[in-house]
Amino acid sequence: MFEDLTVIDAASYVAGPAAATVMADYGANVIKLEPPTGDGYRGLAARYRTNYNWLLTSRNKRSLALDITSADGQKMLHRLIEKADVLIVNFNLQQLAKYQLEYDTLKAINPRLVLAQLTGYGNRGPEAGRRAFDVAAWWARTGVMDMMKPFGGPPTSGVSGVGDHASAMSMFGAIMMALYRREKTGEGSFVTSSLAANGAWSMGMPLQGAIAGYDVSELLEAKGPRSPFTLSYQTRDGRYVMLVGANPKREWPLLCRALGKTDWLVDPRYADMKGIMTYRDELRVAFAEVFVRLTLQQVVTALDEEDATYSVVEKLKDVITDAQLIENEIIVPTGDPDPDYQWTINSPIEVEGIAKVTIKRAPSIGEHSAEILKEAGFDSAEIDAMRQSGVIRQD
C-alpha cells in the first residue's frame, strides 16, 4: 500500500517511531535513523534476554547509523531528504535548528516533504523545549493519573508506552492528512502533535466536565467511585471482572439474574434508577459479596448467559494467548526463529483487501547504512570515507 513512500524515522522513544511502524507494516520504505552508538531506545530492555521493545517498534525498518551532529552527517541526511516523502522527528524547535532540520530549510530541499514532529508539550510557551516521556506529559500532566488513583491513596504510576502508542496513531493520522493534501496540491507540510495534546484528548470527557463546572476528580477524591455498575469486583479465585455501566437501566436486571439475586428486582428500594442510585453504596457492597463467592468461570458463565456488559481484567500472559485477539490478528505470528519473538502486537488498522508486509526482524545498528546510502546516490568511496571518519556505522 505504501511501497512508493520513503519514510525517515529520526525519532526515538516510542511515539514517533511507532507511527513509522504502522507505515512500515503497510510496506513503506522506512529508514530508521540512529546515531552510530545506536538509538537510546535500544537500551530500554537491554537487560533482558530479548530486547522486546526494539523488536516491536523497529520491525520492518532498515537502520542507517549516521552522526547528524556533524556537518558531513547533516549534508548526507539532506541528500536523503531530497528523495524522501516523510521525515518523523521528536526534536524540539531548537534541536531542529541545531541539526539543520527546520521546515523552511527542508522545504527548500524537497517541497513535497512531510515533516512530522512529535513533542512533549507543544512548540509554544515556556515549556516548549521541556523533555518529556508519556508517563509525564500524557499520564501525569493531563489528569489521567489523578483520575485513576485509588480512593484515599496517591496516584499510581502510569504504564510506560501506553500514551506513546495512543499518540503514535494521532501522528500517523496527521501524516496521512498531509499526504492527502500533497496529492491535491503537490506541496508538503509541517505537521505536529504532542503527548500532552493526546493525553488531554484522551481525557476529553472528564476535562470537558471540569470546564462545565463538574470536576469528577474532586467527587472521586471526596467520596470515591460510587456507581456499582462501573467497578471491578474480585472473584473467589482472586481474579477481577470489570462491569460496564454505560446503560445501567439495561444492565440492572441482567446482573440481578446473573448473580442469583432476583429478589432485588422486586425490592421497593430498587424500583427505579433513582432508587438504585440512592442505595448505590450498599449495592456496591452487595455486589462485591456475591462476586467474591463465585469463581471467575462461574461469573463469566452467568454474565454471558444474560448478555451483560463486562470484561475480565486479564493478565498479560492471558492477553497474548487470547483466542479472540489472535483470530482478529491483533496478536500475530512473526515467523521468526527466536523463541522469544514468535508473536508480536499488530498495528491497529486493517484495510480491506490490503495485506500488511511479512514481518521482518528489527535491524542491528547501522545494518543497512551502505545499502541505503547507495540507493541515495552515494558512491562506494564516499561511503567508505564516511565510515572511516565515524560519520556512519555499518554493522
Strands (E), the chain: 6-9, 29-34, 61-66, 86-89, 114-119, 189-194, 232-234, 240-243, 310-312, 331-333, 343-345, 392-393
Rounded percentage of the chain residues whose pLDDT exceeds 70: 99
- pLDDT greater than 80 at residue 69: yes
In angstroms, the first-to-last Cα distance of the chain is: 30
Quick one: pLDDT at residue 222? Answer: 62
Q: What is the mean pLDDT of residues 356-377?
A: 96
Ranked by mean pLDDT, the top range of 131-145, 178-192, 208-222 is 178-192
**Architecture per CATH, 6-201+364-393:** 3-Layer(aba) Sandwich (3.40)
Domain ranges of the chain: 6-201+364-393, 232-315
Lowest mean pLDDT among 78-82, 192-196, 274-278, 328-332: 274-278
User: Which of these ranges, 140-144, 219-223, 332-336, has the smallest mean pLDDT?
Assistant: 219-223
pLDDT reported for residue 48: 78
Q: Is the pTM of this model over 0.85?
A: yes
- pLDDT tens-digit map of 169-213: 999 999 999 999 999 999 999 999 999 999 999 999 999 999 999
**What is the predicted pLDDT for the residue at 143?**
93
In this prediction, residue 224 carries a pLDDT of: 64
On the question of a common fold for 6-201+364-393 and 232-315, the answer reads no
Q: What is the pLDDT of residue 153?
A: 82
Say which range, 21-25, 117-121, 245-249, 333-337, has the weakest mean pLDDT. Answer: 245-249
Q: What is the pLDDT of residues 232-270, one digit of tens each?
A: 999 999 999 999 988 999 999 999 999 999 999 999 999
C-beta of residue 369 within 8 angstroms of C-beta of residue 65: yes
Which of 128, 170, 176 lies closest to 15, judged by CA? 170
CA–CA dist 184, 58 (Å, integer): 31
Can you tell me the distance from the alpha carbon of 321 to that of 305, in angstroms, rounded to the nearest whole number?
24
Q: Compute the mean pLDDT over every residue in the chain, rounded to the nearest whole number.
A: 94
DSSP result, 345-376 = EPPS--BTTBPPPPP-PPPPTTTTHHHHHHHT
Backbone angles phi, psi at 190, to 5 degrees: -110, 110
Reported CATH class of domain 232-315: alpha beta
What is the arithmetic mean of pLDDT over 285-302?
Answer: 97
DSSP calls for 52-69: HHHHHHTTTEEEEEE-TT
Asked if pLDDT for residue 225 goes beyond 80, the answer is no
Q: Residue written as cell 514468535?
A: 342
Q: What pLDDT score was predicted for residue 221?
A: 73
Which cell numbers hold the place of 241?
A: 471482572
Is the model more confident about 132 or about 104? 104
- pLDDT for position 47: 75
**What is the distance, to the nearest Å, from the Cα of residue 218 to the centroid of all Cα atoms in its chain?**
28
| Structure confidence at residue 227 as a pLDDT band (50, 70, 90) | confident
CB 240 within 8 A of CB 258: no
Q: Provide the sign of the torsion angle of the four alpha carbons 385, 390, 392, 395, taken in this order.
A: positive
Over range 76-96, report the average pLDDT: 97
Question: What band does 147 get if pLDDT is binned at 50, 70 and 90?
Answer: confident
| Angle value at C-alpha 293, between 288 and 294, nearest 5 degrees | 105
Question: In angstroms, rounded to a whole number, what is the distance separating the alpha carbons of residues 347 and 25?
Answer: 7
**Opening angle at CA 158, ends 153 and 160, nearest 5:** 160
Mean pLDDT of 117-131: 95
pLDDT at 248: 93
Supply the pLDDT for residue 231. Answer: 92
What is the model's pLDDT at position 244? Answer: 93
